[in-house]
Amino acid sequence: MMSNIFNFELPKFPLDKITLAILDFLTEALAGVTKIASNFIETGVEGLGEGIIAVPTLVVIAVITFVVWKFIGRNLGIFALIGLLVTWNLQLWDATIYTIVLVLLSTILALIVGIPLGIWAALDDRVNKVITPILDFMQTMPPFVYLIPMIPFFGLGTVAAAFATMIFAVPPAIRLTNLGIRQIDKELIEASESFGTTPAQKLLKVQLPLAKPTIMAGINQTIMLALSMVVIAAMIGAGGLGGKVLAALTRFRPGEAFEAGLGVVIVAMLLDRITQNVAGRRRKSPAETE
């Protein structure tokens, strides 16, 4: 008798159909934009990726090692050399390059959007008030939530992955640019204004240079988020190391999955160390003798 209460049928709310209708409309409306973006990213990733892959692998490894060694330090140079040789040996070279290119491209997109937004939020309290809760919300979402809405716009593949990655990775760029500018000592801003700086002079000569370490920390975080997303984006058909991991897992080949996973770790450590080093750089007095 009790069960009666629980047995009646409530018609299902057609959320799926409504969503579909909205998405259809948006896809249609934004078709022009998405088309251009698709072409841009597709040619970017493929052109760059294939270009690098076409060069003999050892040459690429040598160049990267040299640059890292020269500009950052011996230890990291050696790490780059060994790490890249390992990926090559494990036959993950193409996937590694694809992943790095996709990460860097998505990061650049994220920075193009994120840094100006961060500056805007820092200079205008109203913008800050709108943006902050949105960023908070974005950062509570698990990454794959960003994948699904991309499919109707871009289909499966690289472009959808790049956009999902950009959106997922943009919050720290906005947040830390904003923070970096806001936390500048008030007297320094007053000093600048007391000399009659225009807003542009103040921004370029005082605020951005002083916020730079914080902005660089934001860029580092953006890159790391982009990498994690690029790996997960294998679920919507992004290739690369994430694709290898996913393929190995679905076919239950833990050994291969481990190899590809190692590739991800190597790329992660390389990108992290390099950006942290660049970020941590401080200006030395020209007068200082070393």
Partner 1 sequence: MDKKVMIQIKDLYKIFGKHPAQAKKLLSQGVSKEEILNKTGQAVGVQDTSFNVYEGETLVVMGLSGSGKSTLIRMLNRLIEPTYGTVIVDGTDVTTLDDDELRMFRRKQFGMVFQSFALFPHRTVLENVEFGLEIQEVDEETRRNKAQESLELVGLGGWGDYLPEKLSGGMKQRVGLARALTVDPAILLMDEAFSALDPLIRSDMQDELLKLESQVQKTIVFITHDLDEALKMGDRIVLMKDGKVVQIGTPDEILTDPATRYVEKFVENVDITKVLSAEDVMLKHQHVVTLKDGPRTALHVIKEFGLAGVMVVKQNRELVGYLSAEAAVQGVKNEDAWIDHICTQEVPTVPPDEPLKQIFPMVADSRDPIAVVDEKRNLKGVIYRGSVLAALAEQGEQMYDE
Contact set with partner 1 (CB under 8 A): 185, 187-188, 190-198, 201, 205-206, 209-210, 212, 283-288
Shortest separation between residue 231's beta carbon and partner 1, angstroms: 37
- CA 124 → CA 128, 200, 207, distances in Å? 6, 14, 14
The nearest distance, CB 280 to partner 1, in angstroms, is 15
146 contacts 168 by C-beta, under 8 angstroms: yes
CB of 211 to partner 1, least distance (A): 10
Of 197 and 228, the one with the shorter C-beta distance to partner 1 is 197
The structure tokens listed for 87 are 């990926």
Query: Which C-beta is closer to partner 1: that of 101 or that of 206?
Result: 206
Q: Min. distance of Cβ 208 from partner 1 in angstroms?
A: 10
C-alpha span between 198 and 133 (Å, rounded): 30
Name the DSSP class of 185.
Answer: -
Task: Give least dist CB 218 to partner 1, A.
Answer: 18
**Nearest residue to 69 via CA among 57, 84, 79:** 79
**How big is the chain, counted in residues?**
290
Phi and psi for 288 in degrees, rounded to 5? -70, 135
Name residue 73's amino acid. G
Residue 37 or residue 189: which is nearer to partner 1 going by CB?
189
| Token pair 């990498």: residue | 227
What is the rounded distance in angstroms from the CA atom of residue 238 to the CA atom of residue 79? 27
Q: Nearer to partner 1 by C-beta: 4 or 198?
A: 198
- Judge whether 181 and 211 are in contact, CB under 8 Å: yes
Indicate the residue among 137 and 195 with the shorter CB distance to partner 1. Answer: 195
* Shortest distance, position 105 Cβ to partner 1, whole Å: 30
In the bound state with partner 1, the residue whose beta carbon lies nearer, of 9 and 185, is: 185
